[in-house]
Amino acid sequence: MKFLKARLQALFLTLLDALRENYFYHSGALTFHLLLSLAPLTVVLLSFADLLPFLSIERIESVVEKLFPQHTSDILHEVLEIRRRRTGTSLLAFLVSYVFSVGFIRSMAKALSSVSEGVFGERREILYWLLMPLFLLGGAVILLTGFALSLYLKFVLPGSHRLVVELAYVLPGALLLLLLYLGFLRRRVSLLRLICVSLLTSFSLFLLQLLFTLYITHIFRGNLLYGSLSSLIIFLIWTNLVFLLFLLGARLIYRLESRETPSGGVS
């Protein structure tokens, strides 16, 4: 009972810290840097989209007609123009995305250091340029692959099993969070504690996804005039909350560690 009480108290203090220290500032900065790195990367993906058999120009046109019927011709014109200048545009966009991704990783390190009192922090500069952007890209591929697979399983499995399928992806999410925490770790921390906090954070992200899914499907109603703008705002809010939970996990690790080592030592 005392063990559980101590953990709940650490969780409560973590939430209180987030309100007092305004962690939304750090999560907002991470959201901004992520958009800077993803925007040029999107250009790269669009440039080579026609290499995939299921993304022919005919299919792209049919999708665009459903989503933006009034702007189909303009969007197709831009897609064809990107294809024509694919090599030069993609190389430049990739370089820009790479530079911005380094800035995103550096911003993440500073945010983690700020909320964890030095438990996590900045690494050597060479790691930002050589390893971290590749790790970020690999993480994005894992998440996108898991998302695509979950969509497929939802259509294949009966409705009663869909929640179980979604819940199963808490484990890959926890693994990705664990690797992120380990990548920015500056001092020795209990591995079991890192795993438990990663699982808790991943489960919180799962609940956040459910809430946003319910909001979009049952409450949010986009229209032709405000649909795209509202979707962008919802995406920004969701991304901001994802980073907020990520930082709360780092703060919780600090709180749990400080309870075990009040004198400032390592466990």
Residue-wise pLDDT tens digits, 14-33 = 999 998 888 999 999 999 98
SS (H, E, C) 19-69: HHHCCHHHHHHHHHHHHHHHHHHHHHHHHCHHHCCCCCHHHHHHHHHHHCH
Per-residue pLDDT band for 213 (boundaries 50, 70, 90) equals confident
> Best-predicted range by mean pLDDT among 8-12, 133-137, 211-215?
8-12
Sign of torsion over alpha carbons 117, 36, 31, 136: negative
Both tokens assigned to 5 = 């009480």
Specify the 3-state DSSP secondary structure of 146.
helix
Q: Are 48 and 97 in contact (CB under 8 A)?
A: no
Q: Which residue ranges make up each domain of the chain? A: 2-260
Per-residue pLDDT band for 66 (boundaries 50, 70, 90) equals low
| pLDDT (0 to 100) of residue 161 | 63
Per-residue pLDDT band for 3 (boundaries 50, 70, 90) equals confident
Residue 222: pLDDT over 70: no
Residue 204: pLDDT over 90: yes
Sign of torsion over alpha carbons 164, 168, 251, 3: positive
Per-residue pLDDT band for 265 (boundaries 50, 70, 90) equals very low
Residues 6+ apart with CB under 8 A from 104: 30, 33, 34, 36, 37, 136
To the nearest whole number, what is the mean pLDDT of the chain? 76
